[in-house]
Amino acid sequence: MKNIYFLIILMVFLLSSCSTMKTIKFTQKSNEVQTTDALSLFLSKVKNPKVVLRVRETSNNVTDKENNDYLYNAIENQLMASGFIVRDRQLFNQIIGNAENNVNYENLNKKSDTDLIIELTKLDRSVLYETNKYFDSNGNEKADEFNGPFRKYGATVEFKVVLIKNNQFAGLYDFNYTPCTDGCVIAQSFKDVKNQIKTIRKTGIQPYEGVEKNELEEFIKAATRNLVAEIRK
């Protein structure tokens, strides 16, 4: 265990240059939104639409699906907070699994009592951002050819909206989480490094790949609020 902490201290020490603070920043990646006239017209008449969240299951791993439930719940909670009437996902899937309903969208609309399908078509929590540029403690931009490139993970989520009555495409919305838009410290003073080591000794090293869970959940909530704002314009 002591050897592990020694290696951590050595690596952080080498990257931090002992007394120089380095900060990296990335430019926010723009979102892409598309709302059809049909959806705008529908929402001008229906203030509290009945919606269901559909999810493309790309993994056969049950654990992976369960691990995403907190994200799906976050989306549905934000929709409800915005005045949408959210239908049960599992019940809707049972109804749509009926061959008759799957062909006749008017029947599906009536039997499910649902107006819109909001489909989560893409969720990528491991979008890599990298740079060899950094800002020093005086705000000067510099290039680091020895320790760079510096890497951080971002995320992207895509929603597709369908008017269920006639199975009409209604909108496509792509939102991006870009890390370190306000700056991320990637090198610290030796004092900060020592404090970081103390924290690691208390909590241990927490492994992760991609955007961390709490950041991802906040991004999904914000993306859902943006989705509502865009489709109600």
Residue 113 scores a pLDDT above 80: yes
What is the overall mean pLDDT for the chain?
A: 81
Pairing of strands 22-24, 85-86: unpaired
Residue 45 scores a pLDDT above 70: yes
Alpha-helical runs (H) found in 17-88: 37-45, 62-67, 69-81
Q: What are the pLDDT digits (tens) for 125-172?
A: 999 999 989 888 888 888 887 776 888 999 999 999 999 988 899 999
Pairing of strands 50-55, 85-86: parallel
Q: Which domains does the chain have, with CATH numbers?
A: 28-133+146-181+207-231 (3.30.160)
**E strands along the chain, which residues?**
22-24, 32-35, 50-55, 85-86, 116-131, 133-135, 141-143, 150-163, 168-177, 184-187
Q: Kindly indicate the confidence band of residue 62, based on its pLDDT and cuts at 50, 70 and 90.
A: very low
Q: What is the CA radius of gyration of the chain?
A: 23
Instruction: Pick left, alpha or beta for residue 2 (phi over 0 → left; psi -120 to 50 → alpha; otherwise beta).
Output: alpha
- What pLDDT was estimated at residue 41? 94
